[in-house]
Every structure is written in C-alpha cells, then in structure tokens.
Structure 1
Amino acid sequence: MCQVLALETTSDVCSVAVNIGSKIACHSLIAPRKHNEFILKMVDELLESNDVQRVDLDLVAFSAGPGSFTGVRLGASIAQGIALGLGINVVVIPTSAAMALQVRQLHPERQTCTLVRWSRRGWYYVAQFRWKDDVMECVHEDKLVAEEDVPTTSDVVTDKQITLRAQSVLDLAQARKMHSVLPEQALPLYLVGDSPYQVKSGQ
C-alpha cells in the first residue's frame, strides 16, 4: 500500500492525514482563514507523531475544490511543494468526491447523495453521486447554483452536516493512485463564473 500524505483546506477546517500501512492518522483543526498559519506545522507534527519521514512518502493528495479560493490554492501549493521536494507525484481529489465518500462511510445504506456546499452569499456548489455494487459514481460534477435553485430532495447533504476531513481524501487517493500527476500538473479545480466579484448571467 502506498504511503500517502493527504491535505484538506477547502473549508474552515484544516485537516491532514497519513497512512501507516492500513492505519490512517488524521489531525484536523477549525481555523477559518488561518490555514496558512497551521498547515505545515500540522503536517510535521502528524508525520513525527507517527514515525513517518517525508522521504517515506509515495504520494501527496489534496482536496482540489471547488471551494474556498484561498484554501484551494493553499492546498495545491503545499502539495506541489512537498511532492517536488521529494520527487513524487500528486493525486488531485475533487472536494465533492471526498465529501461523498464521507457521507457513504457514515451512512452505508445510502445509494445516492446530492451534495450542497456554500460558495459565497447566494451561491452554492451542487454535485450528485450514487453507488452501484458499492462503487461510487459521479452523476454530475459540481456546478454553481443560485440559492433559490438549490435542490431540496431527500438525499441532500450539506456542508453544515459534514465536516470535511483529509482521511477521505487519502482513501480516494489510494483508489486513484494510478491517476497521479506530476506536481506541476496538480492544479485546483474551479468553476466558470465562480468569482466573488462577478457572476455572469447563465454561468
């Protein structure tokens, strides 16, 4: 099993995880707009407390958004920097996929979930997932939806109900390690029109 360091910085929660064999150690901290003050220290403390050296890592994974513009960029830059320094690849994990996995782990009876995450005032990210034979499938990727158009179906799960953690990013990275990329190719995921300054009609 690959040894993976995973990062989640797309919300108010700053979270890091690493696996030691099949065991996963995770450290999370609620730190709105202060991730940059804590993330590297959290990584170092997590690795040290689990007797893992950076040179032992095979991959770095990060929650790539869409999400907090600053948080997504921070996660990408930290993942790129660590991977470049070690000469290893990066696994880019959509934030909605990591959230969907957390939902399934908490509620294994679920067959579908529609995820609603806050973008900014009046706008939300909406994505949908389903499971067939315990395999997660993305029905539709994140799209930007006005508040009045947010779904209200029974399978809706919001980011107020789920605290995003790096453990699910790591779990997905293990499953998607064959899709890892070079550090310079590990880019954040953004949506057209997702800007705090301007949203054009129809986007």
Structure 2
Amino acid sequence: MNILAIETSTQACSAALLCDAQVSQRYQVAPRGHGDLILGMIDQLLREADLTPTRLTAVAFGRGPGAFTGVRVAASVAQGIAYAADLPVVPVSTLAALALAGYRHNAYQAVLCATDARMGEVYWGAYQVQQGVVSLLGDECVCRPEAVPVPGPGEWYGVGNGWAVYAGQLPDVLTHVPVAEMTEWLPRAEEVALLAKHEFEQGRTVAADQAVPVYLRDNVAQKKQNYKSLS
C-alpha cells in the first residue's frame, strides 16, 4: 500500500509517503508559500521511493478545519494528482491527526484538540484513541475558547497550538485537563497518512471531484479588524 498524504491547513506545510508500514515525511513551518513548498516535498518523497503517482494506492489530504487558503491548497493538489493518476482520495480531519499525534508520542487516549482559528476562536474536537484508531466524540466545531463543549470527566489531554494561543482561557473552562506537553503542535502529514490507511482499509474513500475541504465557518471570507490570513 502506497499512500501520499498532504497537510497544509495551518502555518505548517508537510507531505508524507506511507509505503506499507514505513512513513517518510517532509515538514516545514512556513506561514506562506504552501503551494510552492508542497509540490517540491511531494516530488522529493516520490523520487526517493522510486515511485510515480500511477503506482500510488491513494492520495490523502488534511481536509480541515484550518486556514481557508491552506485547506484549499491541500484539496486542490490532492485532486490534481488523483485525477491524473485515476486514484481514490481519502479526506482526513486535521484535528483527528492531532489526536493521533498525541497517542503516538505520549500515549494519550482521551484527547482535546484545539488549533488557533484566529479571530479569537479555536477549532475544537474531542477524541478517543485506542490502538491507533481515532474516534470523534460529538462534533468538531469552531468557537470562542470559553465556549468549547466540555466533555465528561476523565483523564483528558490537550493537544494543538490553540492551547498555547489561548492558554489564559481554555484552562479556566476545563480545569480538569492536565497541562499537556504538545501545546505548540500542528497537524502533520505523517498522521494524515496513517489515518488514511485505516480509512482506505474500511473503504472510506471519495472520487477526486468529491475531495472537498471542511471549513466549519459558515462564512469563510469573514474578516475582522486586525485579522490576517495564514496564507
């Protein structure tokens, strides 16, 4: 199984190639220029593995939530490769990728994922992770940090840069959440690839023309004073 994964939903830009059980990744934090960076990363990964797009099993991408331009870049690149090579596409939640990162690096099994959505809001999701399988509890949402849905009691851990950006607000709402070690973490293509492998095995793929981003905000063009796009 060869899965190419693309993740550009935040300031970080990354691509990963899963070949059977091995994953190679290119990762760079660069607030702008994702469109240029991601193509070079993909080319490097394919050349090093001596693969062409036609020998891929599927293309995966971080479908959001995230920056409007960033998730559009990932979707567009995934669509282009899938169209050209006649491949299925696996959309993967960027928040679920964070939850899996918490499990892989610190063995977190109950994870509250928060990324900075700008405009004083966070992208938010609660997940259970068991043996690498990530399950969403409730719904993903975008809201102000003081309004995040509070899960039931348990040993929850926070992952994602929303915990750093809103460090003075989230702990006030969720006093039972211990201080996490991954409060600067951003979604990575490596976890997108691993989640995509499970989704592919379950038959959860889409055609290229159905590979669409998930923004969560009803009006993605909304602007507020002093707000700057990530891209």
The TM-score with structure 1 as length reference comes to: 0.89
Between the aligned partners of 2:6 and 2:159, the Cα distance in structure 1 is: 22
The alpha-carbon distance between structure 1 residues 197 and 100, as it changes in their structure 2 partners (threshold 3 A), is: same
**Matched position secondary structure for 1:172:** helix
Contact kept, 8 Å, 1:120 with 1:196, in 2: the verdict is: no
CA offset digits 1:50-89 (Å, max 9, x no partner): 2122221110000000101000000000000000000111
**Kindly, what percent of the aligned residue pairs are identical?**
32
The alpha-carbon distance between structure 1 residues 24 and 162, as it changes in their structure 2 partners (threshold 3 A), is: same
What is residue 80 of structure 2 aligned with on the other side? Answer: 81
| Aligned residue pairs, count | 197
1:155 aligns to 2:153 (yes or no):
no
Indicate which of 108, 112, 115 corresponds to 1:114.
Answer: 112
Contact kept, 8 Å, 2:100 with 2:129, in 1: the verdict is: no
What is residue 124 of structure 2 aligned with on the other side? Answer: 126
The residue identity in structure 2 corresponding to 1:121 is M
What is residue 186 of structure 1 aligned with on the other side? Answer: 211
1:47 aligns to 2:46 (yes or no):
yes
Gaps of 5+ in 2: 162-182, 225-231
**Matched position secondary structure for 2:64:** coil
Alpha-carbon distance, 1:134 to partner: 6.0
What is residue 55 of structure 2 aligned with on the other side? Answer: 56
The residue identity in structure 1 corresponding to 2:142 is L
What is residue 91 of structure 1 aligned with on the other side? Answer: 90
Alpha-carbon distance, 1:133 to partner: 6.5
**Matched position secondary structure for 1:180:** coil
Alpha-carbon distance, 1:194 to partner: 5.3
**Matched position secondary structure for 2:66:** coil
Between the aligned partners of 1:75 and 1:83, the Cα distance in structure 2 is: 12
Between the aligned partners of 1:129 and 1:139, the Cα distance in structure 2 is: 5
The residue identity in structure 2 corresponding to 1:30 is V
Between the aligned partners of 1:38 and 1:15, the Cα distance in structure 2 is: 8
What is residue 14 of structure 1 aligned with on the other side? Answer: 13
CA offset digits 1:164-190 (Å, max 9, x no partner): 211100001110011111000111012
What is residue 31 of structure 1 aligned with on the other side? Answer: 30
The residue identity in structure 2 corresponding to 1:168 is E
The alpha-carbon distance between structure 1 residues 141 and 131, as it changes in their structure 2 partners (threshold 3 A), is: same
Contact kept, 8 Å, 2:2 with 2:19, in 1: the verdict is: yes
**Matched position secondary structure for 2:36:** helix
Between the aligned partners of 2:71 and 2:132, the Cα distance in structure 1 is: 29
Contact kept, 8 Å, 1:103 with 1:162, in 2: the verdict is: no
Alpha-carbon distance, 1:11 to partner: 0.8
The TM-score with structure 2 as length reference comes to: 0.79
**Matched position secondary structure for 2:214:** coil
Alpha-carbon distance, 1:151 to partner: 7.1
What is residue 194 of structure 2 aligned with on the other side? Answer: 171
Larger displacement relative to structure 2 (150-159 or 134-143): 150-159
Between the aligned partners of 2:148 and 2:210, the Cα distance in structure 1 is: 32
Larger displacement relative to structure 2 (12-21 or 85-94): 12-21
**Matched position secondary structure for 1:176:** helix
Q: Which runs of 4 or more aligned residues in structure 1 lie more than 6 Å from their structure 2 counterparts after TM superposition?
A: none
